[in-house]
């Protein structure tokens, strides 16, 4: 999964769960963006996500692995 796919799936998860979703491109550097779901933030890179980074981002956003 790459960063764009992650953002798309996170947007859908937030919509289904009634949680606020926001992307701030201005807060990221280079190929990174800041993603907020509810009150939790994470940094998303635009390239391919390694499994460890993917699961860390889910944990930072409070999204259960089973639901994503």
DSSP assignment of the chain = -BHHHHHHHHHHHHHHHT--EEEESTTS-TTEEEEEETTEEEEEESSBPPHHHHHHHHHHHT--GGG-
Confidence of residue 26 (pLDDT cuts 50, 70, 90): confident
pLDDT of amino acid 16: 96
Report the pLDDT value the prediction gives residue 55, as an integer from 0 to 100.
96
| CA R_g for the chain | 11
- Please give the pLDDT value at position 8: 96
Residue 27 has pLDDT above 80, yes or no: no
pTM above 0.75, yes or no: yes
Taking residues 22-49, report their average pLDDT: 89
Which residues make beta-bridge pairs with 34?
24, 43
User: Across the chain, what does the average pLDDT equal?
Assistant: 92
């Amino acid at each position: 999964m790459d960063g764009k796919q992650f953002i798309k799936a996170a947007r859908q998860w937030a919509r289904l769960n009634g949680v606020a979703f926001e992307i701030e491109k201005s807060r990221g550097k280079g190929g990174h963006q800041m993603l907020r779901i509810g009150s939790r933030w994470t940094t998303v890179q635009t390239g391919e996500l390694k499994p460890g980074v993917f699961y860390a981002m889910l944990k930072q956003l409070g999204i259960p692995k089973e639901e994503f």
